[in-house]
Structures are given as C-alpha cells and as structure tokens.
Chain A
Amino acid sequence: MNETIQVPLYRAAHGRTGDKGNRSNISVIAWHPSLYDSLVAQVTEAAVGTLFAHRRPSRVSRYLLPRLHAMNFVLDDVLDGGVNDALNLDSHGKALSFLLLELPVVLPASLAPLLKNPH
C-alpha cells in the first residue's frame, strides 16, 4: 500500500533559470497539482543548497506558489560575478535548471501515472 518510487525531479516538474547580476533564480513547476506537496517536502532550500555547494551560494531562498503548484528558488552569489565577471561559457547560468531537475525525489507509487516519460 505504501509503495514508493524514486525518480529524477524532471519527471515530476519542469523549470527555467533566470539571472540578475550574481543571482540566479530557478523555477520548479509540478507537472500535476497532485505532485506538488511531495515536491515541497523534498525540494527544500537545504537540498538545493547541497546540489549547488560547489558554487558557494551565500543564501538559498525558496518561495512557494501553491496556486501555480510552483516554487521559485533564488540562489545568491552563485554565478561567479554574473555575466560581466564570470569565466564560464554559460556566464548567465542558463543551464542550471538542468542540474536542479536531476535531484532524486521519492514519490508514492500511486502518483507514477502523473510523471513525465513513464518508460
């Protein structure tokens, strides 16, 4: 009855990265409203901070948007100075949502039909 499955976050949610200066924001939007609560419980500021530890965020803030079944993560000082200073080819950090969306999440097996790419 209480079976669970572990899946990468991209099967349960999608998102996009934006940047302003040395600050990155990454949205996490549930593919289905029924997935949202599980994501809120697991895709936390701490979990995201750990994923991006190599970029030394000075702060990770999560804003919840329950009516949109979405969260907005704001990561301060993770862009090596941002588009004017960073040496990264992707100085905007445009690709960073794809790092976040690989976070493993554990969901009730009953929600599996709501996930993307079930195969």
Chain B
Amino acid sequence: MADTLRIGSAAGFSGDRTDAARPVVDTLIASGGPSVLIFETLAERTLALAQLARQSNPQAGYEPLLDEMLGPVLADCLQHCIRIVSNFGAANPRAAALRIRELAAQQCSRPPRIAVITGDDVSGADQRQLLLECLGDAATGIEIASANAYLGAEAIADALREGADVVVTGRVADPSLTVGPAMAHFGWAADDWDRLARATMAGHLLECGAQVCGGYYADPGIKDVPDLADVGYPIAEIDADGDCILVKAAGTGGCLDEHTVKEQLLYELHDPSAYLTPDVTADITEATVTRLGVDRVRLSGVRGHARPATLKVNVFHQHGWLAEGEISYAGRGAESRARLAADILRRRLAACGPLRADLIGVSSVFGDDAGRWLAAQPAGDARDVRLRVALNHADRAMAEKLTREVTALYTCGPAGGGGVRTGLRARLGTLSCSVPRSLAQPVLEFIE
C-alpha cells in the first residue's frame, strides 16, 4: 500500500467552530496510518490583538479558545499518535504550550512532548533598527504594536522529527502547518521545490477549514450545499510526491467537489504562477482538479520553484479611532428620512473629516467610502432603511463626536428614527515589508 500521510484541518481562523475537530479526529482514527491534526487560527490581525492581550497579561496572548478547540480531542490524538500542529501560540506560544501540558495532565495517560517554535517576533530592540530600514519611509512616526515574520515549515519538520506530539507556533505561513509534517514524514529536502509546492497547495486548501467543503460556498438555487449547518472539515491524503486527495470528515454535512476545490484553490491568490511562501514559490498554472467520487477530489500538476530569498513581515501599529453609528427608519418615506439624517450628520460632522454613509436596505456594501456608488443610485422609496455612518480619526475625542451626533438624532433628526447603536474602537494599521531571513531565525524548544 502506498505511503499516505493524512492531515486533517480543524480550524480555519480564530473564532472558528470549536466542535470541528471531533469528526476529523474520528475519521483519522478510523483511517489508521500516520496522521496529523492542524488548527490554523492566526489571521493577519489576530496576532496584533494577541500581542496587545499579552501586554496587559503576560500569561495571555495565545488563542483564547484553545481549551475549547483542543480539549475534546487531545487525549484521543495522543492515544492514536495523531500529531497536532498549530499556530495557536499566537503572541505567546510558550504560554499555550504550558496550558496544553495542564490539559494533558488532567485528561491523558501520558504527558505529551510539546514543541514550541518562536523567533517570528521581530519587534524587539535588537531587530528594531533593521526592521525600520526594511519598512522605509512608511514607518515614520508609527507606534509599533507587533511585528512578526512569516516563518516556514522547516522548524515544524524538525520538531516532529524530534518526536513532538504537539507543535505550537506563533506566526508561520498558513500552508507551512501542512508542509512541515509532510517534510518530516516523507523526508523531503528543503529544496525539493515540486514536492514542497504540492504540499503547500494542499495546505492552502486546508487552511480555511470548512471553506473547501461547502462552507462559504452556498448560494441557494445556484450552489446548493447539503446540511451546511453541520458542515465538515477537510482532510488531505498526501502521497510521497506531495500530490493530494481531499476528503471530508465522515458523517458531516457540506460537499466537496471540483468546484468547491477550485474556489478555495484561488482564494487569496494573486499570480497563480508564483504563490509565495517562506518554503517555496508554488505554481498552479498547470494544476488540475479532478472529482474522484463523492466528497473526494484530487489536486495534481502543481509545480514549484525556489523559495523567496526574504521573509514577509507584517507590522501593526496604533492607527487612530473608528467611530460608527446606526439608526433605523421604516414605513412611508423611510428612505428619504434616512437620506435627510445622513445630510444632517455630514453637516454636523464636517470638521471630523470624511464621513461614510450607508443606507442598509438600499445600498451599503458594494459602494466606496467616498460615496460615488451611493450617489449614482437614484433615490428610491424603500420602506425599511437603516442609516449607518462611519469615520476614522486620529483623535479619540473627534471620533466620539460621531457617536453623540447619531444619538442626538433621536430628538433633533427626522421623524420616527429608532434603534440607535454606536461604537468606538481603536484601530490597528498594518505595514508589510520583506526582511532578510537572518532577522527571524526560528527557535525550537521542548516543554515536557
């Protein structure tokens, strides 16, 4: 029987369903053979928020739902030798590892060997000068909240070769969660570009969880998905050449066919001949997607080229305040009353900079912040409209004026406005740059 590594995905972002892992683990156990469970929980902004959480509590800064995600399956994974690999360490991988050790002590018959990978944080004083040089003029005057490099698969592979049951990372490229286990299992070299590229695209299909299994796909009448409420998460069956067959956890809803796979394959991709990760430059221009049977799809034909010389770094910085407010109008003349309220707010808030106004129920999504789209829509007679306004301002007090002016519409605005909601929150801005690999060296340690 051909050697196959099964990698199951149990989370596609921080905030994903925490009951996703169970059916994936059950399927991996039933399949037998070597397998890995990955959780991808680190969107671009998630890490910056985790860094801020760690600043206020040194024990925090890792995935807040760690217990809920991992707790239900940790004992089974250890018992059945299903390795766990995740970036749920976020801004504090070591604290996450210590928490996993506690969970295991409560639940498991043996203590797991837990690997912690750090080195992605490049915000430290030692790295600051070089980081600022790489950012260039864009960094002038910013207050850095976090700066993390996207590390690759090699340290994950090292950890698994050294016997890790659980690998906890901070920022790594999402597909590297899949490439690392495949490198370790099949013994691929770090410059085996074609195989690394194939595993990278398998990882790309896994990294958003249910999105390849009918999640984020349904469009009733056009794209019908069975039992979406219980949508399943994917498993990649990877062979020694890196080609993969995607399947879905047994007994779950959703669907997996050539169309769901193609949508996810192109998700967040730019030039399909050069998908850049720390591990490889993947090329899908000759890739093919073939449905082999019910919820069973093969991806093949992916090629690889040498990895980029540099690593990508995302820097988050304090970026002023976002103020939002909403009020509803209903019945005859609702749209014209909502439009009048928007005009009032534009005038009252003229000193606060550009104001975005949306008429929810008429037009609130496709339009641009400058309002060109909304201005081009002829005024109608919608009978159920929610006005929503928003502005950014560097100064909290100026942003707050919006919340007060929206509230004041209760007595000073058009007739019949109701349901005011307002919000004010700090924003994080982001900058990206490329840095030499030497700036972010992975550090691997074990917590027994």
Contact = CB atoms under 8 A, between A and B. Distances in A.
Contacts of A20: 268, 270
B415 interface: no
A99 B366 CA distance: 7
A1 interface: no
Contacts of B268: 18-20, 25
Nearest to A19: B268
Contacts of A87: 322, 354, 356, 369, 390-392
A72 B266 contact: yes
B262 A70 contact: yes
B301 A27 contact: no
Contacts of A60: none
Interface stretch (B153-161, B188-196, B423-431): B423-431
B430 A84 contact: yes
Interface string A66-101: 011010101000001011111111100001100100
A27 B358 contact: no
Contacts of A23: 270
A18 B301 CA distance: 23
A14 B224 CA distance: 13
Contact of A65 (B284, B354, B373, B429): B284
Interface in B351-399: 354, 356, 358, 364-369, 372-373, 376, 388, 390-392
A25 to B, nearest CB: 6
Contact of A21 (B263, B367, B430): B430
A18 B268 CA distance: 4
A56 B217 CA distance: 28
Contacts of B136: none
B250 interface: no
Most buried by A among B45, B272, B358, B367: B272
B301 A67 contact: yes
Nearest to A18: B268
Interface stretch (B60-68, B80-88, B122-130, B286-294): B286-294
Interface in A1-39: 10-11, 14-16, 18-21, 23, 25, 27, 29, 31
B222 A67 contact: no
Contacts of B289: 68
Contacts of A82: 430
B223 interface: yes
B339 to A, nearest CB: 18
Interface in B254-285: 259, 262-273, 284-285
A70 B319 CA distance: 38
A115 to B, nearest CB: 10
B432 interface: yes
B173 to A, nearest CB: 13
Contact of A54 (B216, B266, B358, B376): B376
A116 B222 contact: yes
B216 A16 contact: yes
A14 B223 contact: yes
Contacts of B392: 85, 87
A88 B365 contact: yes
A70 B266 contact: yes
Among all A-B residue pairs, the 8 with the closest Cβ atoms? A18-B268, A87-B356, A27-B266, A87-B390, A80-B369, A54-B373, A54-B372, A16-B263
Interface of B: 44-45, 216-217, 219, 221-223, 259, 262-273, 284-289, 301, 319, 322, 354, 356, 358, 364-369, 372-373, 376, 388, 390-392, 427-430, 432
Interface of A: 10-11, 14-16, 18-21, 23, 25, 27, 29, 31, 54-56, 63, 65, 67-68, 70, 72, 74, 80, 82-90, 95-96, 99, 116-117
24 contacts: A14-B259, A21-B432, A25-B270, A29-B259, A29-B263, A54-B373, A54-B376, A56-B368, A63-B270, A65-B266, A67-B287, A67-B288, A68-B265, A68-B287, A70-B262, A72-B269, A72-B272, A80-B368, A82-B430, A84-B427, A85-B319, A86-B369, A89-B365, A95-B365
